[in-house]
Amino acid sequence: MHALIQGLILGVLTAGVYALMASGQTLIFGVMKVVNLAQGAMVILSAYLAYGLFTSFGVDPLLAIPVTTVAMFILGVAVQLAFLRPLHDEDRSELSLLVTFAVALLIEGFMSVTWRTTDRSINTSYANSSWSVGGYQITLVRLWAFLLSIAALGVLLLLLNRTRFGRAIRATVQNPESARLLGVESNRVSAIGFGLGTATAAAAGSIYGLLYPFNPGSHYDLISRLLSIVVLGGLGSIAGAIVGALIVSTSSAVVAATISPAWSEMTFFVILILVLLLRPQGIFGTTGRGAI
């Protein structure tokens, strides 16, 4: 019982990190109908950037987030301009898989050459701290990750719902042709939208580096999990990404603590298949083009 509750606490807190990564993923899909297979690689790249800033300049990985966010935003915009814009609208979704996978491999190669393939961890003084509450441990970094994710998601939702730019994005998602006719520069919106999506990788990267050892190949496991979360929640839905992250994270933590880690992925995929059978568009997904 103790292990179950502890597993539940860990799962809920970890969900925040995944929600953050997945929200970027789902935003990109919502805006551009592009499945970004490089999102995981960008998270790991951000972790390396935070690691570099921490080991070379002593910058705390959480304080480094604004810097890495800007860097990832620029990278995202550059990737969109250089690789995705040239794709034709009619087969963009299919080709984007190949293109973004190539970007993921490029980033991975860059990381292997720059930081080699040994595992790295960001070891701040608080990296392994935790609070004891009623015999259970609440790990500090996970709690911060959770709060940070909520804050970042809040900013993202405000941006989408309360700004002109957000309206332009939502308009592009709902009806790109009409949006264009009404003067929305959909090319610019797409580039910035992609940049925003990848920028969420920055905060997630700092947190990931504090929580887990990572190496250039870490993004493979990450991207498969991210895609599952996004599909479970419904492609293009940020609320869906949050709920998907909660389901993935708590189910795998609880199953790993009580049954076996070998079954934890399996359990989640069973949930995924059941959801897809009953609601093929995902929990929060819509069949037509819709709200983010």
Contact footprint for other proteins (CB under 8 A) = 2-3, 6-7, 10-11, 14, 105, 116-121, 123, 127-130, 132, 137, 139, 211-213, 215, 217-218, 220-222, 252-254, 256-258, 260-262, 264-265
- Using DSSP, state whether 259 is helix, strand or coil: coil
Taking the least distance from each CB to other proteins, the nearer of 14 and 80 is 14
* Residue found under tokens 């800007």: 70
Taking the least distance from each CB to other proteins, the nearer of 107 and 238 is 107
Shortest Cβ 220–other proteins spacing (Å): 6
What tokens does 273 get?
Answer: 């298949």
Shortest Cβ 118–other proteins spacing (Å): 6
Taking the least distance from each CB to other proteins, the nearer of 91 and 119 is 119
Report H helices in the chain: 2-32, 39-57, 65-79, 92-115, 140-162, 164-174, 176-181, 186-211, 219-233, 238-258, 261-278
Shortest Cβ 177–other proteins spacing (Å): 38
Shortest Cβ 178–other proteins spacing (Å): 41
What's the angle, vertex CA 280, arms to CA 275 and CA 285, rounded to 5? 95
Taking the least distance from each CB to other proteins, the nearer of 133 and 278 is 133
253 Ramachandran zone, left/alpha/beta (phi>0; psi -120 to 50): alpha
Shortest Cβ 258–other proteins spacing (Å): 7
